[in-house]
Each structure stands twice: as C-alpha cells, then as structure tokens.
Structure 1
Amino acid sequence: MNEFKLPKQVQLCEVAPRDGFQAEKKWIPTEEKINLIHRLHQAGVTSMEVTSFVHPLAIPQLKDAEQVVAAVRHLPGLALRALIPNARGAERAFQAGIKEVKCILSATDAHSLANTNCTVDQALVRIQSIADYSQSKGIKATGSISVAFGCPYVGEVSPQQVERLILSYTRLGIQEISLADTTGMANPRRVFDLFGKMRDRFPDVTFSAHFHNTRGLAQANVLAALQQGIVEFDSSAAGLGGCPYAPGASGNVASEDLVFMFQEMGIATGTRLNDLLLAAQEMKKVVGHDGGSFLLQAGVPKKHEQPAGQTKEEKS
C-alpha cells in the first residue's frame, strides 16, 4: 500500500483584503479594511495580499490602496503583497512601501481583454515593464496565471498554453508563479495533472495555487495540488472573493476551512483557527455576507448533549 506523504507545514497567503473586497459594490470604509487586516494578523496570518494598485475607475473598492498599506506596512512578521496591472501600479506600490508585487496574466485572450483590456501578448509587454521596474527598485515580482484550469469564455485551457506563459514569465526573471482557478472550473484530476506536468517542465519554479470554490471543489483541488508537492496556497477569510470580469465567479476557498482541514491532517499553517474564525465573522459582519464558508456555518466540531429520553441506539 502506497503511503500518502504529507508536508509538515504549508504557507497560506490571505487574499481577502484584495480578492475578497474587490467584487464588493458597497463601499467598505478604509478604517474597516485596516481593522480587518489587523484582526487577521492577530490570528497568526504572516502573508497577505492587502490590495491592488489598479486604476480607481477599474476597481473603485481599492482606491484607498496607499492609505491601507500605510496603516499596516509595519505590522511585525507580516509580509505584504499587492496585485498590480502595469508599471504605474508597480511605481505606486513601491512608493507605498510594498516589497512584493504580483503580476496579472490571463491564460486566454478573451479573459485578458475582459479583465485588463489587452490581449495576453500585450499583457506580457506590460509585465516586461513591471519586471524591469521591480528589478531596478529591488522589489520582488511574482506571477499569476488566471483561468489556468478553464476560461468562462472559451472553455478548457490547454497545458501547452499554460506552459507557454510560464516560460514567458521565467524569461522575465520571474520564478514564483501562481496557477489560478478563477471561476472554479478545475477538478482534482486536472489539478494533479497540470501541476505535475508544470513541475516536471520547470523544476526551478516555485508554484502556488489559487482556488475558487464556485462548484464546491476547492478543498479537493487543494489536496490534489498538495499531492504534487504544492505547499503555498491563497485563501480568503469568510470565503469572500470573485473576479468582477469573469461571469459566474464566486468566492475563494475559505481560509478558516483550509486551516481546519490542514489542522485535522496534522499540517501546520501557523494560524490560530479560533482567532481566524473570529476575524472571518467580523468580515462577514462588515460586508454583509460570506462567500460560502463551511466553518462559519457549522463551526468547529464539538460534542453535543444527547437529547433527554433518547438512547444512543435511537439517536443513531
């Protein structure tokens, strides 16, 4: 019988302050965003995508990027990351004090045009300028590939296309790349196969995974990625999130659900689950809803009192 080998620890990046908030139409006050980031940090979160330096007209919810970063950039032990669309965004991030930026790249022209108003090849030109600027300023640049497992406009994305984009990133000196299931079209078999092929093809690249729970498969997809040696995952407290430019997009895998799963499997995350649940509850209160978090609904398992007059046999 083959042994299922598990890592002792994984690294989670909390993306609720960016991916979780960007799709919210109702304005979330800046002070509320800052308070929620503090709550997540107090729960033991050590890596966070706090905002995106995108044009305010594109995503009005994140127009306060500079103010948010200024208020949280000195939190001890917290590595901040920001998503950026172009060199101007990288410049704003640098001036705000961000040390790590993530580049945006879609796997298909259709999604790229909807998301960033340019084709994939045009986006690569923008990323070249981001990579050049980041290198000149000593900023760490990482990459992402949206709709890597399927596009809502064109359907299945070939591994060859994903490979081409990873190669393009590496030629720009970017060696940390996230494969994103933007609209929840992935399944565990596809996840296992794609990460296996890409890790074989690019052994020097550090891969991470970004799963949305649109069709209830996010945690299964995390497990499939884990089996291929992936130990870095994005997640969002309260399961919030969704791409404003992708039809049918819904929330990310909930941070509390993922921490609970890993905790039950004996895998450390460095996050305190009870404190994370409190932060997720506060986040749900602030935005008015959650994104489908299982733990917010069911809570952590605990023994309940047996109803009076009911035997164990009757109960079962």
Structure 2
Amino acid sequence: MSNLDLKPVTALCGGDASTGPVRELMTGRSVRLGESTQVRRLLPNLPRRMVGAWCFVDHYGPDDIADEPGMQVPPHPHLGLQTVSWLHEGEVLHRDSLGSLQTVRPRELGLMTSGRAISHSEESPRSHARFLHGAQLWVALPDAHRRTAPAFEHHADLPVVTAPGLHGTVILGELDGAASPGTTFTPLVGVDLTLTERTAAALPLDPGFEYAVLAMTGSVDVDGVRVEPGSILYLGCGRRELPLLARTDSSVLLLGGEPFEEEILMWWNFLGRTDEDIRQAREDWMTGTRFGEVHGYDGARLAAPEVPQLPMKPRGRAR
C-alpha cells in the first residue's frame, strides 16, 4: 500500500526505544487512501516512530464496500523496505513489476520485499466481499539487505498458537515455538491474536525485543491498559510475558522486534539512508527507470510528490 499524502512528512526513524517496560498509549490519525478508503495511521506517530523494524502501520475498516470500488491503489514504487498485507475481511488483488498477480485473503500473508526497487498496485477485485478490514505494515530493511533483489511471497497456511479463548496466527517471526515462513531480515515478530470475551491470557515475550499492541476489533486490557481500535500501546523492552484481558470478543496485532539501531530516512514510499537516496529514487520513478512496470492495472500510475527544498537528514532511534 502506498502513502498517498501529497505532502508527506519526512519520518525521522526510529525513536528512543525504552530500556524497560512502559505503557505508552498513542492514537492514530485519519488519512485518506485513494477514493474510498480511510485509514488510521498508527506508525509513524509523534511520540513513537518505530517498534523494532516495524516502521509504518495503517489500520483500515471494517468498511462496507458493497456498492463501492473498495481499495484502489494505483501502481507506485517502494525502496528499502518490506510491505506486509494483512486482512480480516475482504480481498486485495496484488500486482507488481515482477509479474506477480495474487489475491490475498483474510489471515493470509502477502509479503513484498522491495529491496533495491519494486513497484506494485493493490485493489479490491471487481467482484468483492461486502466488507474490507485489515492492516498494511512496513518493515525497514537493514543496510546490509536494503539493496537485495525484490521479491513477493504469498503464504496461505501460517502457523498458529492456541490457548483457551485465544487463537494466534504468526504473521512474521516466531512466538512460543511457532515460526512464520515469511522472510525476515532482522529479529522481529508479528502475531494476529483473536480472543473471546472475558479471556485472560499471558503471552511469552522476548525481553530483548520492544513491543506494541494495536486493536483491530473489540476492547482488550493490555497489561492493565485499555486498547481499542484507533490506538496502539507501546510497551518498551524487558518483558518476559504480556497479560491480556478481553473485555469483548476482540482481535489485536502484537508487533515486536530488536530495537532498530541504524539511522534511516523515510519519505513517501521510500526508505533510504541519505537525502540523495530519496531524491534519486524519486527521479528514477518519475523518469520510468529502475522500478519496472506494473501490467494489468486499469489506470495511471501514481506521480511522486515534490521533495522538500531543504536537505533531509537521517536520524537514529535516540532523540
């Protein structure tokens, strides 16, 4: 999915990852995506810009698109990151410059590694389900892998963890011995958790990771803090388990990873290390080089917004 903001703010990633457990509740901001999709942008956020290598989180829906075109994101470029498409309802048709054509359905992983350059489009199929509900997430690639060859993976059968009243699907990384087949380049984890009303559970965590939880549906107390759709709770590091209490039937995403130590610069759909990285990427996209071509999308590709006049500077996680 693209950042469609015509005046994108330069994201000075990462942030001051806590050395111990915290409870920092943050609200998302509403952003229009295309003609008919409104998203809640939870990362980057003013107080907290990254969680491990997770650097971008949009939550959208549930939206009734029975009489609407649904998601329509024209061809656009990506650089230096991975995109993670995750659905609870609906379908998204993915096309990319590698020639991939894949419909991603609920609880299936659509994982695109942009590496040195890729472009793609995302759209609701012409004949689609009534509701669309999901999340789009980006993962920053470390410097050693940011020029890797682009790739797309689709995994329909993901590992699960279960307990009374709890069902977890491991999107990326590993939780409690269940490991996702998705390719990762830094130690991280992403898990979709569904809890029935009044379920109390304690998840095992890696104390070397920092974590956050965002609500997809319902209401859950996460370490005593109420988390509902439209918010994300940053939890810091140093935790060995995480207590959860479902106030209603609920679904949440658990995101975590080793704090990302590198200085990076994220602008529009590009993640680089220098101002020149970003400016060159924009020029390459606008001149039709490097990012390839997406075939089959009925419409024009996105034009890149203008870059800031002043040089953009990378930042690390320490403020």
TM score, norm. by length of structure 2: 0.29
User: Higher RCO, 1 or 2 (CA under 8 Å, sep at least 6)?
Assistant: 2
Q: Which has the higher helix share?
A: 1
Higher strand share: 2
